[in-house]
Chains A and B, each alone.
Chain A
């Protein structure tokens, strides 16, 4: 290096790579990159030589071959002749359904518990405190197992519903049966069904699509009506009576569509040794759903409580001074501000629910981990590929959830100027 011997003030010396802040960060990054690449290469090299030693290769071709196992809960067509890739999708959908259901109920439970914990009613706030502390400080896995045990050990067997002097009876006018094999509910049926549409890998019932579209249209119509009423009020000072119109807009189209499609309920009946007909929820699903809901609900309750406490008392006092009633104070002043505090931790709770669905292994619910990361992995012996796909799938779900919720978070964020 000729440059190092050069001692004139402006020129470059090797020691400047370390002592000059202009270059130091580049040096550190290059060293860091070198170490990182070396470590990575070491891992890859080890993996390749280990695979070679066991006579394996990295090949995702197994996804196309016949799965050969049954899945007891499926939202799309699947049989043991389907491919491993298909089993992967069935598992993914089971995971998503569980996560979605648990997110909804956990939010409801959490908001109610969080608000009630702040209530000035002594007994209610104490009960909620006990609920929150009890569920937060015991592992979720234990709650899943306990709730599953309650469902299988305490509920009656289907044959307890039989005969003249049955020891158990169905709930809600003979429509719901809770047994140790699962819960049987009335199932929706359409006698004049519109059929299914095949969307590539999944098929969707047109009936539900039509219903969804009609409900979305009703909501749009309702908002237009409210908007119109507000405009009239602005112009004339008198708000037109809208309640019967809004009721009609929301209820009527859906009702008409249901009647046209011949909507009716199919009730479960005891036939032979078990119930048949209606919808059937497995105990494994219910246990996961309940456990994740009450467990995460306790965390959400704390987030909601913290969010409400974070709003200073002056805000509600100012709202009262403006003459707003308590309901409006809550809706227009407190909640919009509290939501800003609540939503970021809420997002991470939703992510936690999604990740905790993988604990379904404890109760045998056929989720993503049980299909792709369980039976497929064991049958094909392709640990590396299966775990890679499994992690990638979870990662993508997590990124989508956090991305979507961040968009929402940005829309309610305080616009600082």
Chain B
């Protein structure tokens, strides 16, 4: 090819051409994401139609929202026949939806409890919070009980001291033997609560009376009661669920079958039957004359219910662990509790985080069922608000507000679980 004459060689580069218009920017995005095939184009049109339909029908309703009115009829007067939301009901009754019939002058107590609750759960949820706050988390349940129900502070303190007594007995008896220490740590607090807590409470109340007005459970309501039942159930059901899962995995047939029976029974019946049991039957099962607070009964039932589901979730986590982990723990010479605590549980719990949080969300949503046994949760209060002649006939605004609140809580929880999953992920993929 050496004798071929090259007549022309380009000496300068051509300027770069812009890519075809179908391959850039919005057009490309539209082609790829909305109109990649005839079927896709149809689906897109359908989707646009749905969105358009929703906007046309709900847009004016939101646009004409009314925030200042005293009654539904006044709202309708202002709207003059047009469709519009009457959010004035929320403005008028938000305190009922949040606190139920809790006395107005005591609203600071649930609010303070809520703020303290955030402080108390912060070290559990986020690693950046100093560990020392955990001491506050341990004290918080007793403080919250005192703040919400009122009465003498020494009642809560006496209950709290039971745990201190148990811990003290454990430390003291540990020198004798581990088994004796465990038995002592169980028996000492029971002894304390049965025989000493009452006199100590009376004595301290007589010497240093610190008390705030007591408020009865039937005044509780709204999202306050949902959060009380939900958070208590969540906190108690996790350890109980773990114990049940361990029991179900156990080599001891008796323990195993009792746990299996309990889990399958609870999972086989609807929560509502358990709640009815709590309200109708629990008094049959307790010694004659005992009268249990209804909120406490509901918390017990909701906890048992969630614990059975939790046990299955945690069991799934255990089942997903490779056998080698169990064998490695045995090979290290760890005993049962140490191998569970140090090796197996952390991994199993990490695997089952999505399931655990789903159970938490389910539990929180299920707190709405307490309306059927006469506790005024938000749904029960929406009926109570409608019973007022001012707001008779208002529906969507109340339900919308309640749904929004639940959505914020539950969606927040599911987002947190995704954050936690990402943080605890150890495989580098």
Chain A interface (Cβ < 8 Å from any Cβ of B)? 18, 25, 28-29, 32-33, 36, 43, 46-47, 49-51, 53, 116, 119-124, 127, 133-134, 136-142, 145-146, 149, 153, 351, 355-356, 358-359, 361-362, 369, 373, 383-384, 387, 390-391, 394-395, 398-399
Contact = CB atoms under 8 A, between A and B. Distances in A.
7 contacts: A32-B255, A32-B258, A47-B285, A137-B410, A145-B379, A391-B269, A391-B273
Interface string B399-417: 1001100110011001000
Given A25-B251, A361-B372, A383-B280, A121 B273 contact: no
Nearest to A395: B268
A395 B288 contact: no
A153 B395 contact: yes
B254 interface: yes
A237 to B, nearest CB: 34
B272 A28 contact: no
B111 interface: no
Contact of A373 (B44, B254, B273, B365): B273
Contact of B395 (A18, A51, A149, A383): A149
Interface of B: 32-34, 36, 40, 43-44, 46-48, 50-51, 179, 251-255, 258, 264-265, 267-273, 276-277, 280-281, 283-288, 361, 365-366, 368-369, 371-372, 379, 395-396, 399, 402-403, 406-407, 410-411, 414
Contact of B269 (A50, A142, A394): A394
A264 B254 CA distance: 61
Contacts of B402: 142
The 6 closest A-B pairs by CB, nearest first: A137-B410, A398-B268, A122-B33, A139-B365, A355-B270, A395-B268
B379 A121 contact: no
Contact of B277 (A119, A124, A387): A387
Given A49-B287, A138-B365, A373-B276, 17 more contacts: A29-B254, A36-B258, A50-B283, A50-B284, A120-B40, A121-B43, A121-B47, A122-B34, A136-B410, A137-B411, A138-B403, A139-B406, A146-B399, A361-B372, A369-B273, A383-B281, A398-B268
B155 to A, nearest CB: 25
Nearest to B179: A18
Contacts of A355: 269-271
Contacts of A358: 270, 272-273
Nearest to B255: A32
A234 B54 CA distance: 55
Identify the interface centre among A47, A141, A361, A362: most chain B CB within 10 Å of its CB: A141
Contact of B48 (A49, A120, A123): A123
A362 B47 CA distance: 33
Nearest to A153: B395
B34 A123 contact: yes
Nearest to B258: A36
B246 to A, nearest CB: 13
B255 A121 contact: no
Given A355-B270, A394-B268, A137 B368 contact: no
Contact of A28 (B50, B252, B368): B252
B284 A51 contact: yes
Contacts of A32: 252, 254-255, 258
Nearest to B409: A137
Contacts of B46: 124
B51 A121 contact: no
Nearest to B413: A137
A137 B414 contact: yes
Contact of A359 (B43, B269, B272, B277): B272
Nearest to B290: A46
Contacts of B264: 399
Contacts of A383: 280-281, 284
Given A47-B285, A133-B411, A138-B406, A394 B33 contact: no
A142 B47 contact: no
Nearest to B414: A137
A346 to B, nearest CB: 15
A19 to B, nearest CB: 9
Nearest to A377: B280
A18 B379 CA distance: 53
Identify the interface centre among B285, B406, B410, B411: most chain A CB within 10 Å of its CB: B285
A358 B366 CA distance: 13
A145 B34 contact: no
Contacts of A153: 395
B272 A142 contact: no
